[in-house]
Amino acid sequence: MVLLYEINTRVWIFELREKYGSSINLGNIPEIELDEISKYFDWIWFMGIWDHSKIDEKFIEEHPGLINEVEGALDDWQIQDIIGSPYSIKNYKINSIIGDLSDFRNLRERLNKKGVKVMVDFVPNHFGIESRLPLDEPDYFINLEKKPGFEIINLFNKVDTEKGVRWIAHGKDPYFPPWDDTYQVNIFNENLRNYLIKVLKYISSISDGVRCDMSMLLNNEVFDATWGWLNIDKLNALKDEFWNIAIREVKNQNPNFVFLAEVYWDLEVDLLSKGFDYAYEKKLYDNLISKNNNEIFERIMNTKNHIDKMCRFLENHDEDRLSSRMTDLENISAMAIIMTMPGLILIHQGQIEGNKIRVPVQLKRKSKEIAIDKIRFAYEKLFMFHKMIRDGIWIINDVVISNNDDEVNIFSWSWIYDNQVYVIIINNSDKVINSAIEFNFKHDLFNNNRLNYYDHYNSTNSRVSSINNSINWISKPYGINLLEFNQNIDL
């Protein structure tokens, strides 16, 4: 079990400048702030550290959707607050508004000394419209030498390159309009692949891991489905998969470097097979948000063979805030489910405090919100329990509901660590439920008819009867029980 914390780096730096003064950058973060962000986490993902394209008033006026997002997030916004998307990358240099490479190296060194590793972004599908790369190497991108027809012209931009006028496509995925602050790479161009691998090797020399944006878009089949209709010469000439080659070459240089795939469309296992260490678990996220317990359980069972490779989350910079979509009890229950399973758990900055306002990635500041103590205290209990079980063996328990309800509302599993038995029981519903928790392992503890336990979530000692390697349990609505069974517990 690994905990990853996503920080909106530009917003964070500007907040720290309000607190400590304008000289704050990545290289001189006060120690107390580093202690705060690192006390629970194994990794920090510094989202948005690279130099990116700026956007002007004309661009903002032409994008009413962006204005609506900004107005919903920041009541007193001004034009200067909108500084551009960190996913419209000009080049892989540290953005000067937050520091330089020396500052970033210093930050990483300080966090590494605290036992915390550093992750950054890699955005391989596209580059920003202010990048020099499309001008110098237009063939690295999806481009046409002739003006496209009217039906697709909004997909392209006319660019005066070093090799003449080209119409270069904006970055996109198959299901949404193009990102018109970007240009789309041609992953079937071998020189482009070599360039991206060079970038990855550089990133691996200054950080511990990388979160690869929209990774599945570079799969040969996906890319061909997205762009093959253009019938560009040599568009699918390369048969080898980019990720297989890139990850292998980077890990030959740095075997401990970690790759996290942002991936959708049930392509998680495919990306893992290409060498990724972890992959986004979006389907479980969707099930948890929709509160469909049967589908939650089915998804857990369907992914249990690679569950330690899944990156589970309830928030990130792309999704609405959890507290804006769920009650406090629903929020905490969902978090207890993902926080007590193996794999990589992604926590978004502000999630612990119960923030409700999603910050558009183009903004440099956010609204101030008051922390919700109930959520923060619950998360702190989950973090403390996580430390006890993280290196153990995870085993799913069988649950039998006494009223024969067809809906799976109780989630239960055990962790065995250093001969200790920890049992998690979560009622992800608004009902009182009587159930039998049946253990799929043998342990000397269960030779006793009466089991002593300490509940780390509710801070209570008690005992429960053990019958045929199982216990009966009554769960209150959205009840969470984090049990440590130990005959030495003093009652």
pLDDT digits (tens, 9 = 90+) for 382-437: 999 999 999 999 999 999 987 766 678 999 999 999 888 999 999 999 999 999 99
Q: How far is CA 24 from CA 11, 29, 30, 312, in A?
A: 12, 6, 9, 32
pTM of the predicted model as reported, rounded to 2 decimal places? 0.95
Higher-confidence residue: 466 or 161?
A: 161
Question: CATH homologous superfamily of domain 393-485?
Answer: Golgi alpha-mannosidase II (2.60.40.1180)
- Three-state DSSP at 426 gives strand
DSSP class of residue 468 equals S
Domain ranges of the chain: 2-122+281-389, 126-184, 393-485
Q: In the predicted model, what is the mean pLDDT of residues 458-465?
A: 93
pLDDT tens column, 268-315: 999 999 999 999 999 999 999 999 999 999 999 999 999 999 999 999
CATH fold, domain 2-122+281-389, is TIM Barrel (3.20.20)
Q: Which one, of 196, 203, 93, lies nearest residue 140 by Cα? A: 196
Contact 240, 289 (CB under 8 A): no
Q: Which one, of 236, 238, 253, lies nearest residue 197 by Cα? A: 253
Q: How far out from the chain centre does Cα 174 lie?
A: 21
Q: Which two tokens stand for residue 175?
A: 């299901």
pLDDT tens column, 226-273: 998 887 766 666 789 999 999 999 999 999 999 999 999 999 999 999
Q: How far is CA 169 from CA 144, 150, 406, in A?
A: 8, 14, 50
Q: Which stretch of DSSP H or E encloses residue 395?
A: strand 393-396
Q: What is the pLDDT of residue 264?
A: 97
Q: Is the pLDDT reported for residue 184 higher than 90?
A: yes
DSSP class of residue 147 equals P
pLDDT bucket at 490, cuts 50 / 70 / 90? very low
DSSP-derived pairing of the beta strands 258-261 and 278-280: parallel
Q: What is the pLDDT of residue 161?
A: 96
Distance, in Å, from the CA atom of 261 to the CA atom of 369, rounded to the nearest integer, reads 31
Q: What is the pLDDT of residue 491?
A: 41
Q: Which stretch of DSSP H or E encloses residue 51?
A: strand 50-52
Handedness of CA 244, 249, 250, 253 (dihedral sign): positive
Contact 43, 345 (CB under 8 A): no
Distance, in Å, from the CA atom of 346 to the CA atom of 43, rounded to the nearest integer, reads 9
Distance, in Å, from the CA atom of 342 to the CA atom of 308, rounded to the nearest integer, reads 5
Distance, in Å, from the CA atom of 29 to the CA atom of 33, rounded to the nearest integer, reads 7
Cβ contacts of 271 within 8 Å, gap of 6 or more? 215, 216, 243, 261, 263, 279
pLDDT tens column, 92-130: 999 999 999 999 999 999 999 999 999 999 999 999 999
